[in-house]
Structure 1
């Protein structure tokens, strides 16, 4: 009899371990179903040096420029997927997640785009034609300029960087890796002012010191080309930065200067 009672008590305890969490979840869901939106909590992640959007910008996207204020609405009536789609329509935003918390807030987490480079239009003599253009991210995707913020990033020009399809090719991948190298290497980040690439992917580098134009060739094997250039800079150009105006490393195992 005692064994039977002990078994029943054990079964009851195990049942309670299952029933209580389910009941708690049900109570929480019931509370959320009647709870109204208290606030919009917005966080923006991304490069701390680039602020294409602020919290007010995101709030205006979220509420359709104030047409759908959300505050005071019942949380169960708020379509979170629709809110995410509203925000994702802005091309300056890379990722977005919208959810509700237990305090009755609608929480919005936004990751803004990070520019790898900025494309600018140029004339035949290399002068910038206008301030129009677009940014390119590390995946080769274009996104528009911001009306409120201009990111300090590497400038690129030429038809290759204005063709989104070419940025997704093998040549485009190598070129993006070259741009990433220029953004992270301290010496070349300070020395290269602009990268120009024609429709075939032939690259020219415009420098800061010496005002040289470097014929780089394609981005293929870019690391060895930069190693050759660095040796040339250290041993030759460091003695006289204005000695040459044109430098070519497009041919294997040689540097041609004028």
Structure 2
């Protein structure tokens, strides 16, 4: 009985040694393999700012492309960090497959507004992150002017999100102008008139008044007679012809 137990124990030890050797041999052999191919995959969405070629240029290590480099020298963390630094990238993942393919999955930032200033123009995404304009693509988003600081941007983002969350307002409001007195005016798609929104308070109430006014004037087509529709006063809509 003791001999059988000893034999089983020895066989188990030999098995462990063999498996360790095979794993070590396979691991070393795998690390000696070279990167044979680079694949870039964009997550579903409006992926217009970055191209596959642009991402490939970001996958650089030691001033050269990672293709044909040994897998053992590839620093995946560094490559991922390098790709993530691109202002159009919201999230990136870089990893190696067993057969030597370097894969990169990219989620691009989604602009929700374009800030138009005297000396600068840029997008802001849904997280409130500043995104530069691109020569590859011009996003069709709300245009905002009169914004002069990051605090102004933070102030206006809840308004922008409210508009984008409403199916009608999203299609109707095309521009927002902030005045020096912190009041807001909207440009709209349906006509040349402006919406005088006033300060950013009672936002939901003002939009309810505006939509109720639209429901009436769109039917009889009288809305085109006005130059300004003012909703900043309590419980009333004041129009100027």
* More moved, 234-243 vs 92-101: 234-243
Per-residue deviation at 1:211?
1.5
SS of 1:209's equivalent in the other structure is coil
Q: Distance in 1 between matches of 2:225 and 2:24?
A: 78
- In the other structure, the counterpart of 1:82 is 78
Change (3 A) 1:166 1:5: farther
Q: Distance in 1 between matches of 2:175 and 2:182?
A: 15
Where do residues 47-196 of structure 1 align in structure 2 (5 Å cutoff)? 47-48=45-46, 50-63=47-60, 67-121=63-117, 133-159=121-147, 162-168=148-154, 172=155, 175-196=156-177
Where do residues 24-35 of structure 1 align in structure 2 (5 Å cutoff)? 26=24, 29-35=27-33
Q: Is the 8 A contact 1:141 1:164 kept in 2?
A: no
Q: Distance in 2 between matches of 1:149 and 1:60?
A: 19
Q: Encode CA deviations 1:198-248: one digit per residue, 9 max, x unaligned.
A: 366422111122322111123343222211111011123542122221122
Q: Is the 8 A contact 1:46 1:113 kept in 2?
A: no
Q: Distance in 2 between matches of 1:25 and 1:253?
A: 76
TM-score for the superposition, normalised by structure 2: 0.83
* More moved, 203-212 vs 178-187: 178-187
TM-score for the superposition, normalised by structure 1: 0.78
* More moved, 29-38 vs 226-235: 29-38
- In the other structure, the counterpart of 1:253 is 235
* More moved, 206-215 vs 136-145: 206-215
Matched length: 239
SS of 1:99's equivalent in the other structure is strand
* More moved, 26-35 vs 110-119: 26-35
Alignment equivalent of 1:206, drawn from 164, 187, 193: 187
Where do residues 205-224 of structure 1 align in structure 2 (5 Å cutoff)? 205-224=186-205
Q: Is the 8 A contact 1:46 1:114 kept in 2?
A: no
Per-residue deviation at 1:92?
1.3
Q: Distance in 1 between matches of 2:195 and 2:151?
A: 26
Change (3 A) 1:23 1:198: farther
Q: Is the 8 A contact 2:174 2:187 kept in 1?
A: yes
Q: Is the 8 A contact 2:144 2:176 kept in 1?
A: yes
Unaligned runs of 5+ in 1: 123-129
SS of 1:196's equivalent in the other structure is strand
* More moved, 109-118 vs 84-93: 84-93
Per-residue deviation at 1:113?
0.9
Q: Is the 8 A contact 1:203 1:216 kept in 2?
A: yes
